[in-house]
Structure 1
Amino acid sequence: MATRPALYLRLVSLALLLGVLAGYRNPQLDFKEKYFEQWIDHFNFETYSNKTFAQRYLITDKYWKRGAGPIFFYTGNEGDVWAFAQNSGFILELAEQQNALVVFAEHRYYGKSLPFGAASLQRENAGLLSVEQALADYAVLIMALKKQYAAPDSPVIAFGGSYGGMLSAYMRMKYPNIVSGALAASAPVLSVAGIGDSNQFFKDVTADFQNYNPDCATAVREAFREIKDLYLAGAYERISRGMSTCKKLSSKDDIYQLFGFARNAFTMIAMMDYPYETDFMGHFPANPVKIGCELMLENKDRIRGLAALSDLTAASNIIFSNGDLDPWASGGVRKNLSSSLIAIFIKGGAHHLDLRGSNPADPPSAREARLQEANIIRDWVKAAAGASKQLTPDHYPARL
């Protein structure tokens, strides 16, 4: 008969099986991979003078109607830019409908956009990894591309999911002269600003499993409790053996890392609870929470029992979308703040499901959300194109 730590090993192994540690697959998309010489520091002339680094971005003009179509700009978040391009098919679908130029920009310090090369994350070099610097990167890149493509009057719509969604909203707030609107999907702008319950995210992760079957949450709690009891009893050998760790656990820090790893595994399963198989952030089957719960319950007989940059309400032309299956949703905007700060709710939606490409398994609410988003964005583009020409310099600014 398996012990509870052995059962817990199954739960963690399940998370590994679902791809928490797996890499993404490079997509076969129509993007061209390019690099832009970006300022290392946008705000201080003294520290790095005119030094630059190569910022990677992806671009496709496959659907663009030059002189008439908008620019759809994805504000890259914490990872390789190809991963987000591969998993944001709605933007390409919308680009085909609205004849847009599409750009996915990589966030500084991630992927291949390393200001100091391999030494970028050394303590003395990490100080320029900030929201403000990243937003300035995107603003400078947009202005340069508008000049390069002779599109000074093309409206720009920012897109992003999760942290990237926060950045898309911030772009509209900080640079409204450059960005005409933003779709901020699954963007926890309120929780990052310190509004709400800081523990709500993990409560919502638990709720995802609890809502499928209360016994799932009970099984996980019991497993965590059993390992904690073994740790307090000094039974490191038993934990190591039951968890099949590569090295024997021998300290409180080892146990802390074990708990953190397992917590993140369940978090990823909850976030990626899409109704179809996906390779985003790893390889996941359809409905991973359901599959995880069912695998856990097969063993039930063996168990004894970032502050906002300004006031949101002062902004305009931002869509905040959230799904009820996403544990980040509680930290996002879930009600309209004004006629142009619009909240869209996706019943049965996991982490920024609406940014993903259309899929027959999508819940009706996801299809409705995308249709609503498309109509709103079309209106923004039309209004921006009909307004007076944006003030654009003859060259992109030396600093922002």
Structure 2
Amino acid sequence: MALVCNSLQKYAAFVVIVLACVCFPCAAHYRSAHRRHEARLRSGVEDQWFIQRLDHFNGADTRLWKQRYFVNDTFYRAGGPVFLMIGGEGPANPAWMQYGTWLLYAQKLGALCLLLEHRFYGKSHPTDSRQALADLAHFRTVTAAKRGLTNSKWVAFGGSYPGSLAAWFRLKYPHLVHASVATSAPVHATVNFPEYLEVVWRSLAAENPECPQIVKKASDTLVDRLKDPKTYDNITKDFRLCSTLQIQSKMDSAYLLESLAGNFMDVVQYNEDNRAFEGAVGTNITIKVLCSVMLDSSLGEPYDRYAAVARLMQKTFSQSCINTQYESYIQDMSNTSWSGPEAGGGRQWVYQTCTEFGFYQSTDSPNQPFDGFPLPYHLQQCADIYNLSSSLDGAIQQTNEEYGGYDIRTTRIVFPNGSIDPWHALGVAKDITSDLPAVFIKGTAHCANMYPARAEDLPQLGLARDRIFILLQKWLAE
């Protein structure tokens, strides 16, 4: 044990913080990763409240609610555009009002910057997510009238699920939003998404071809050991579980396996994009760090290195242990209180996957490094948490019919995606038309272009930011 701990010290790296670009449809993955990447930078930014309609589609319904938003008018010049950042699957993060590439664009273009929280999340509580676009439309109309911005050109920004909303906002309300930047946006809904883990394999292999092979050996070993109850005490100690491992059903083992695979999924998705900001403290674990651990034979067999990664993640994020009890997870997720343990976003987002998007990152493909959490495991959660037992196929078809999927048809949307980011498999990686361009950034991960530039950035990332700015300049002149 001492050898392992001492060996891991050399893998510490940079500071972690992610603002709002989050997309974690797998339940266990959401639970761990979203908490790791929730920034706390709120200095100097005040909550503001917009009186919103509860039901935009029923004129007889006069009920109202308060929707949270934030404002940065530092760069605004009379006649300039309005930038609207769309909140997503977690509390709206006011740090976006102080940091991010969009503020550089705002400074150059004299834009007013607004951030609107999604009605499902944070302090905004109505719960019909398909009305989120109508919320944006009403907010835009009323705010424009109050601030004298009716004739201004509005540009929507979003990353991950909010990136999808940014694209769909332009699609559904072209008279209200002039252009959109839809970063790392999964625009095609699908029940089963095994391609996510296929990209994880390729992203690990890009660092070292042996890396995903060692990960697969470790995962396979763990799957085999879970078949023998005599190994449970050792597994509990090796991975520092919060309680002695008990496997009473396939759901128990699947939840454990997904939780541990989530260490790799999370790091790959945000590789190098967890940026250091003022006042933040922590360590940035990258693909390079993970592969360094997995290829370090001094730590033992592949299984031992897999456990070492889990302990490194726990140490980095100050976790004394990890809870891998499926029953406990279901209990927390079934709590409908706004003060419940998963009310910050976990319960809401998984519900959206069960009713709108799917996106289940299953192990159903042979071309990926993990095993043990196939599609039925993900679908069973819809029944266990929300008592939803019907097929998702109809809901997925409805989503793609509503928004167009890959066949979106409108103008003035740019789709930035990173080649390392597993979500690019459901995004737009090639130009649809000259007015619906893709910006595919080789070697970068989820939402990389949204973060402030730094000296270590790949040249192609800087070029991508520049291209987006040039497109905005062109479109705002039209």
| 1:155 Cα offset (Å) | 0.4
The offset of 1:277, in angstroms, is: 4.2
| Structure 1 residue aligned with 2:234 | 238
The aligned residue for residue 37 of structure 1 is 51
Shift of 1:87: 8.6
Deviation of the 1:135 alpha carbon? 0.6
Write out per-residue CA displacement over residues 251-289 of structure 1, whole angstroms, 9 at most, x where no aligned residue.
233322211212222111011112674479x97745611
Q: CA deviation at 1:340?
A: 0.2
Give the AA of the match of 1:212.
E
Match in the other structure for 2:73: 61
Give the letter for the 2:80 counterpart. Answer: G
**Could you tell me how far 1:226 is from its partner in structure 2?**
1.7
Q: Structure 1 pair 310/277, CA: closer, same or farther in 2 (3 Å)?
A: closer
| Greater mean deviation of Cα atoms: 241-250 or 268-277 | 268-277
Alignment of 1:36-115 (within 5 A): 36-45=50-59, 49-66=61-78, 68-82=79-93, 85=96, 89-115=100-126
Structure 1 residue 317 displacement after superposition = 0.7
Residue of structure 2 equivalent to 1:163: 161
The match for 1:199 is 194
Alignment deviations for residues 221-249 of structure 1 (CA, whole Å, 9 cap, x no partner) = 12221221122122333322322211112
- SS of the residue aligned with 1:341? coil
Q: CA deviation at 1:193?
A: 5.6
| Aligned twin of 2:441 | 346
* Pairs aligned (count): 356
Amino acid at match of 1:60: N
Q: How does 1:1-400 map to 2 (within 5 A)?
A: 20=33, 21-22=35-36, 24-27=38-41, 31-45=45-59, 49-66=61-78, 68-82=79-93, 85=96, 89-115=100-126, 126=127, 128=128, 130=129, 132-190=130-188, 192=189, 198-234=193-229, 235-251=231-247, 252=249, 253-274=251-272, 277-278=275-276, 285=283, 288-299=286-297, 302-303=300-301, 306=357, 307-308=399-400, 309-311=402-404, 312-383=407-478
Q: After TM superposition, give the deviation of residue 159 of structure 1 in Å.
A: 0.6
Length-normalised TM-score, structure 2: 0.68
Measure, in 1, the Cα distance between the counterparts of 2:277 and 2:214. Answer: 27
Query: Structure 2: 5+ residue runs without aligned partners?
Result: 18-32, 304-356, 358-398
Q: Which moved more, 1:334-343 or 1:80-89?
A: 80-89
Q: 1:277 to 1:355 in 2, by over 3 A?
A: closer
Q: Displacement of 1:23 after TM fit?
A: 5.4
Is the alpha carbon distance of 1:279 and 1:208 closer, same or farther for their aligned partners in structure 2, counting shifts above 3 Å?
farther
Conserved in 2, the CA contact under 8 Å of 1:33 and 1:58? Answer: yes
Change (3 A) 1:286 1:331: same
CA distance in 2, matches of 1:242, 1:107: 40
Q: Match of 2:47, SS? A: strand
CA RMSD of aligned residues (A): 3.1
AA of the residue aligned to 2:209: P
Q: In structure 1, what is the Cα distance between the partners aligned to 2:98 and 2:429?
A: 23
8 Å CA contact retained: 2:200, 2:268:
yes
Secondary structure in structure 2 of the residue aligned to 1:81? coil
Any conservation in 1 of the 2:273–2:447 contact (CA below 8 Å)? Answer: no
Cα pair distance change 1:77/1:91, threshold 3 Å: same
Q: Secondary structure at the match of 2:145?
A: helix
Amino acid aligned to 1:320: F
Q: Equivalent pairs: percent with the same residue?
A: 28
Q: How far does residue 39 in structure 1 lie from its aligned partner after superposition?
A: 1.7
In the TM superposition, what is the alpha-carbon distance from 1:216 to its structure 2 partner?
A: 2.1
What is the identity, as a one-letter code, of the residue corresponding to 2:122?
G
* CA drift at 1:214: 2.6
How far residue 147 of structure 1 moved from its aligned partner, in angstroms, is: 1.0
- The CA deviation string for residues 4-35 of structure 1, in whole angstroms up to 9 with x for no partner, is xx99xx9xx99xx9784435343256644211
- CA displacement, residues 299-333 of structure 1 (integer Å, 9 cap, x when unaligned): 46621694343444521111011111111112211
Residues 79, 304 of structure 1: alpha-carbon distance in 2 compared, 3 angstrom cutoff: closer
CA displacement 1:336-371 (0-9 Å, x = unmatched): 111201011112211111111121111111111111
Look up the match of 1:392.
none
| Alpha-carbon contact 2:417-2:427 (below 8 Å) kept | yes
Q: 1:107 to 1:275 in 2, by over 3 A?
A: closer
| More displaced stretch, 142-151 vs 22-31 | 22-31
Any idea what SS the aligned residue of 1:357 has?
coil
- Is contact 1:27–1:86 with CA below 8 Å preserved after alignment? no
Distance in 2 separating the partners of 1:247 and 1:74:
41
Q: Is the 8 A contact 2:159 2:447 kept in 1?
A: yes
User: How much does 1:60 deviate?
Assistant: 1.1
Please, which runs of 5 or more residues in structure 1 have no aligned partner? 116-125, 384-400
Which stretch shifts more, 270-279 or 210-219?
A: 270-279
CA contact 1:36–1:55 (8 Å) conserved in 2:
yes
Residues 294 and 302, structure 2, Cα contact 8 Å, conserved in 1: no
Partner of 2:29: none
Does the 8 A contact of 1:87 with 1:356 survive in 2?
A: no
Q: Matched residue of 2:71: which SS?
A: strand
Change (3 A) 1:203 1:223: same
Distance in 1, matches of 2:91 and 2:185, equals 19
Distance 2:259 2:299 in 1: 26
Query: How high is the TM-score relative to the length of structure 1?
Result: 0.80
